[in-house]
Amino acid sequence: MKIFERERLERALDGLDLVPIIEEGFMALSSGQAVVPPVGELKLEKGEVHIQYGFIRGQAHYVIKIASGFYGNAALGLPSGNGRLLLFEQETGRPVAALLDEGHLTDVRTAIAGAIGAQHLAARPIRRIGVFGTGVPARLQVHLLRWVTECRSVFVWGRRRWAASESGEASQARAGRRAARRCRCRWSRRFRRVSSLDVTAPER
C-alpha cells in the first residue's frame, strides 16, 4: 500500500483543473452511479469524528474518509480539523493507498463545490462576493472563484475583525499580484446578499 503525505498531495494538485472532475462526481451522484451511505459519527468529549465512504459503479476503487474536528485545538496551537482517506480496490478489497492529507483534500473539494455552484447558479452579473467565515475553506473558496467570475469585490464576515482582515489579505495573496490590485476585501458585520456561503469551524 502506498502512503501519500499532505505535501506530496499538494504538489500533485498544483496546476490541475479539478472543477470538471468534481462536476463529474456530482453528475454520478445525481444519476445514481455514486453510492454514498449515511455518514458515521463519533461524538467525543472534546471533538467529533466523521467517517464517510463511497464508490462509483464501474470504477476501480472505493474510498473511506476519516475527518475530525476538535475545536479546542486552536488554544493549543493545533488545527481544529484533520483527516485522511483510505483507497481500496472494488474487486478484491485490497488496500491501495493511504492519503494523509490532514483535511486538505476536503477543504479543496468544498471550495470547488462552491465555485461550481456559483458558476451555474449565481445571479449575473456578480458584483460582490460574500464569504461567511475566515478559515481555510473560506480562503480557498475566494481563490477558486477567480476561475468562474471576474468579480474581485469581496466582503468577508468573521466574528473577529483581525481574522476577517487576515482572511482578506490571504485571499488577495492567493489571487496573484495582478488580480490582487483589483481585489477589494472588506470586513463587514452584515450584508444583504451573498454569492457564496461557507461555514467554518466555530473558533473562527
Do 15 and 86 share a domain, yes or no?
yes
Select from 48, 83, 102 the last residue of a domain: 102
Query: Does pLDDT of 197 surpass 60?
Result: no
Is residue 120 in some structural domain? yes
Do 63 and 148 share a domain, yes or no?
no
Do 6 and 96 share a domain, yes or no?
yes
Strand partners, 118: none
**pLDDT band, residue 198 (cuts 50/70/90):** very low
Select from 78, 102, 126 the last residue of a domain: 102
Do 23 and 72 share a domain, yes or no?
yes
pLDDT at 161: 57
Do 83 and 112 share a domain, yes or no?
no
Give ∠ CA 117-139-177 in degrees, rounded to 5. Answer: 105
pLDDT at 77: 93
- Look up the domain containing 178 and give its range: 106-187
pLDDT in tens, 118-163: 888 887 888 878 777 777 777 888 888 877 787 777 777 766 554 5
pLDDT at 126: 82
Is residue 81 in some structural domain? yes
pLDDT in tens, 31-79: 999 999 999 999 999 999 999 999 999 999 999 999 999 989 989 999 8
* Average pLDDT over every residue of 175-196: 41
pLDDT at 166: 53
Dihedral sign from CA coordinates of 24, 104, 162, 169: negative
Select from 41, 68, 102 the last residue of a domain: 102
- pLDDT above 90 covers a percentage of the chain that reads 45
